[in-house]
Amino acid sequence: MRRIANTQQAEAWNGPEGVHWADNADSFDMLNSGFNDALFEAAAIGAHDRVLDVGCGTGQTTRLAARRAASGQAVGLDISAPMVERARAVTAAEGIANAVFEQGDAQVHPFPSGHYDVAVSRGGVMFFTDHTVAFTNIGRALRPGGRLAFICPQMPSPDGDSARVFAPVNALLAQPSPAQRGMMSLSDPARVREVLTAAGFAGVTVTSVEGPVNWGRNADEAVDFYFTMGPVRHNLEKKPEETVREARDRVRAALRPYETPDGVRLRGAVWLAAATRP
Ligand SMILES: C[S@@+](CC[C@H](N)C(=O)[O-])C[C@H]1O[C@@H](n2cnc3c(N)ncnc32)[C@H](O)[C@@H]1O
């Protein structure tokens, strides 16, 4: 039987927000892929490595890891059935044979002990009721000398691009949506160091990485995507139509100056954490 400690997260990511993410995987990948290079540089995956991707979602980073570990294997673990289903379908369509996916809760998943050379995560390690227990479990899955590299969100800077562009909506986002709870749990680098050290990792570093956050091909597409996202929908569904329409118009106008031939690109920043298992 599958072990689950994070029952609220399991419910949330197997509910409408997980389904929405899985159905819009390309948009979410476009949004988050500006930090892939930094993540993979820190992970330093070798051709023969066994890689674990924690909270792999629809598996873009698992597939990228599998390509780097051409003679090894990448395993993506995620608590969400719709995300794992989508990850498997895309991976099969792309003909990547050395990437596999499992559904499970990383906090308590019975990973094979000392099996992996490296564990990575693009924003999939914030959603734990007990971070120390979860990272201890992930650490146990790594061989001695194995590496951990992940990225997680920073608190948005009040004068950053996102704060400016989404200001008309930010004022209305009072409640975190179910899947969003925990999202900012590692936004303090001191907390990341504390948790990883308590979980037995050594050589912990946490660095700020800036990159483009791509919201879509143009401002119209970007505003459509933004207003269907779980946290926004969750807060706006009971607001008067006129309020929502006005907020949409203001966000669309604020996004226009960021349109480029490569999409609507805002500057963003994440924390990149790296550590090793002694
Ligand atoms: C913000 S999304 C990131 C997904 C993916 N890494 C990406 O970059 O597209 C967070 C992911 O973590 C997964 N997740 C949340 N809690 C988890 C847990 N306890 N164990 C495993 N996966 C979890 C969610 O289902 C979701 O796919």
Instruction: Give the residue-averaged pLDDT of 135-139.
Output: 98
| β-pairing verdict for 73-78 and 99-103 | parallel
Measure the CA–CA gap between 16 and 231, rounded to whole angstroms: 11
The answer to whether residue 160 is domain-embedded is: no
CA 13–ligand 1 middle distance (angstroms) = 8
Comparing 30-39, 40-49, 83-92, 166-175, the range with the smallest average pLDDT is: 166-175
Instruction: Give the residue-averaged pLDDT of 38-57.
Output: 98
Measure the CA–CA gap between 17 and 6, rounded to whole angstroms: 16
What digits encode the pLDDT tens for the residues 207-220?
Answer: 999 999 999 999 99
Residue 176 has what pLDDT? 85
The answer to whether residue 164 is domain-embedded is: no
The answer to whether residue 225 is domain-embedded is: no
pLDDT: which is higher, 137 or 178 = 137
Model's pTM, two decimal places?
0.97
In a mutational test of the pocket of ligand 1, which residue from 19, 62, 78, 150 has the highest number of ligand atoms less than 8 Å from its CB? Answer: 78
What digits encode the pLDDT tens for the residues 140-150?
Answer: 999 999 999 99
Residues with CB under 6 A from ligand 1: 6, 9, 13, 18, 28, 32, 55-57, 61, 77-80, 83, 105-107, 122-124, 127-128
- Contact of 137 with 156, CB cutoff 8 Å: no
Residue 171 has what pLDDT? 85
* Structural domains in the chain (count): 1
The answer to whether residue 78 is domain-embedded is: yes
Measure the CA–CA gap between 186 and 209, rounded to whole angstroms: 15
CATH number of the domain bearing residue 122: 3.40.50.150
The answer to whether residue 230 is domain-embedded is: no
Residue 2 has what pLDDT? 79
Q: Which residue has the tokens 């050290």?
A: 197
The answer to whether residue 224 is domain-embedded is: no
Q: What is the mean pLDDT of the chain?
A: 96
- Whether 269 has a pLDDT exceeding 80, the answer reads yes
Residue 1 has what pLDDT? 61
Identify the residue whose C-alpha is closest to ligand 1 atom 26. Answer: 57
94 lies in which domain range? 7-154+181-215+264-276
Instruction: Fill in the DSSP letter of residue 91.
Output: H
What digits encode the pLDDT tens for the residues 96-127?
Answer: 999 999 999 999 999 999 999 999 999 999 99
Q: What percentage of the chain exceeds 70 in pLDDT?
A: 100
Q: Which two tokens stand for residue 65?
A: 């890891």
Q: What percentage of the chain exceeds 90 in pLDDT?
A: 93
CA 129–ligand 1 middle distance (angstroms) = 14
Measure the CA–CA gap between 128 and 139, rounded to whole angstroms: 15
The answer to whether residue 226 is domain-embedded is: no
Q: What are phi and psi of 166, to 5 degrees?
A: -95, 10
What digits encode the pLDDT tens for the residues 238-256?
Answer: 899 999 999 999 999 999 9
Comparing 2-6, 32-36, 211-215, 269-273, the range with the smallest average pLDDT is: 2-6
- Whether 228 has a pLDDT exceeding 90, the answer reads yes
Burial class (CB in 10 A: 0-12, 13-18, 19+), 127: buried
Question: At 10, which helix (H) or strand (E)?
Answer: helix 7-13
CA 134–ligand 1 middle distance (angstroms) = 13
- Contact of 129 with 256, CB cutoff 8 Å: no
